[in-house]
Amino acid sequence: MRLIFLGPPGAGKGTQASILGENLGILHISTGELLRQERKDKTERGVEAQSYIDRGALVPDRVVMEIVHEQLTKPEAKKGWILDGFPRNVSQADALDELLIGISQQSYDCVISFEVPESVLVERLKERGRMDDTLEVLRNRLQSYHEETAPLIEFYNDRKKLETINGFMSMEAVTGGLKEVVEDLKKNI
């Protein structure tokens, strides 16, 4: 099973990807977590990424593609994976398609979009309380999502690969909805 999770910051993608990844025994690839680790380790990529993250901007495609390539070529990725927080724009989606073909002639099975009202997202992000989550940065992140990432919904819908999940439900209800989507996918794979 190879899945892509789309949704604005605070939509619950990471939580659900972690749960589903564990249930399916597949790799959960969170570009946000990987970038945070690179920043913590003060790697060259981490330092570069920090300058963008500090102002709520998206990290350059080149940096994120390097990280994703490293993850997708790990031996454990052969069993399947969930990409959480990537791609973030149409250019990254095109690059991902090329990368997947180059790695092993593979593709993704489904893209799942988490939909949550913006007022709820802001509250969730404030509660999460990360160091980089000032109100201005939160608003910039949401604006970046709408400008850069939201067009991916149409991109994947046109390819008949998109499923939508109401991320405003309880965590358990969202998990249940995801399990239903996965079961339907398994029947068609």
What residues act catalytically? 13, 88, 128, 130, 141
CB 28 within 8 A of CB 135: no
Nearest CA to 145 out of 116, 110, 177 is that of 116
Instruction: Find the angle CA(24)-CA(179)-CA(65) to the nearest 5 degrees.
Output: 60
Nearest CA to 140 out of 36, 58, 51, 32 is that of 58
Radius of gyration of the chain (CA): 16
